[in-house]
Each structure stands twice: as C-alpha cells, then as structure tokens.
Chains A and B, each alone.
Chain A
C-alpha cells in the first residue's frame, strides 16, 4: 500500500456544478501532483504543489485549481463542470524516485 488516500471514491455531478476532491498521504512527502485519466488513456498532468505553492501546471484551464495544506494534504477544485471532465482523478506524492498514486476518485458529470 502506498499510504495515499483519496476521497470520495466516486462522485456524480451535474454539468455546471463545482466539485472538490481530496488527497492525503501518511508518508510526510511534501510534493503532490494531480492527474486526470480519461477512460483508456494515460494520466494527464494537471498541476503539482510543493510546500503549499503551485510548482507547475499542465494544459488545463483555470477552472481547475488546487490547494495544499501545511500537513501536505491537497485539494483539487473544478468549477463549471463539463461533460468532458468525467474521468478518474489521481493524486500522487513524489518519493525520491517514483510517484505514489492514490486509488483515485471516479467523477461522472451528467
């Protein structure tokens, strides 16, 4: 087990709504990345946080935003949900070499 947890496991939202996804690690790692994984595709990098500051961002619009807290847990917020936002959202904490992924949150937008 990676010690990375995500909540909720599954979520169904309506187009136009807002959603907050959460991620935490027991390991004390201070760098966390968020990914969007559409069905049948590889994870796409959304952004990374290091010690509460955004440390890099992929090609996602501003309605995707995040936070990291002093205990290194993190949130991903998505505003004005669109149907194409339906995906598995993964967070991953950076180890010295690899990334430790959480189990993901399956978001369905109807």
Chain B
C-alpha cells in the first residue's frame, strides 16, 4: 500500500533559524496536504497542493510539491517559538476512494 515518509523526525533550531521538513511518497499522489499539531492538540490543516511543481506561500511558510507528485517540502523562514509543534504531510492517492496517508511527522522545537 501507499507509504509516506517524512524526514527529519525531530529538529531543534534556534529562534530565527530556518527549518525544512521533507515528505516522500511511495506512489504518485493526486494531492498532498500539510497539517500542524501543537503539543497536546489535534492536527490543524495548513494547505493543500495539487499541481505538479506547485509552490505556495503563507507568510513565513513555503510549501512545494514535486514535479513527479511524489514528494513535498515545507520550509519555515526565521522560526518563532509559536512555530513549535509537529508538522505532518498527508498524501492522497490517485485511485478513487484513496484516503489520506499521513507521514510520521517532523517535530520542531525552537529555542528562544
């Protein structure tokens, strides 16, 4: 079945440094979504990417979808303590009825 891998598993950064998490799928995706989960919270939707090579920005966050629609990345510029949490990618396959498959997440810790 479809597998989604994320690296790194953990990342410690100093406040103000940049952060990137990478997501790779074993199969071609129809779309990919990104979620953020704060400690003790539930996943909250950030964005959806659909097109090959798509790049979207939300303030300091930049999301990319690979040309082959099998990988994606999230880059945060100048991290802040409010960025702390676990970032998950979740891919949806091309077959009808394919559900979201979540990656293992990257836990971001920011030192003030």
Contact = CB atoms under 8 A, between A and B. Distances in A.
A41 B105 contact: yes
Contacts of B98: 56
Interface stretch (B11-19, B40-48, B51-59, B67-75): B40-48
Chain B interface, >50% SS class: strand
B43 A90 contact: yes
Nearest to A45: B99
B45 A99 contact: yes
A96 B22 CA distance: 25
Nearest to B31: A97
A59 B1 contact: yes
Contacts of A43: 43, 88, 102
Interface of A: 33, 35, 40-45, 48, 55-56, 58-59, 90, 92, 97-104
* A-B complex: 6 closest residue pairs judged by Cβ atoms: A98-B45, A42-B102, A101-B42, A42-B104, A43-B102, A101-B43
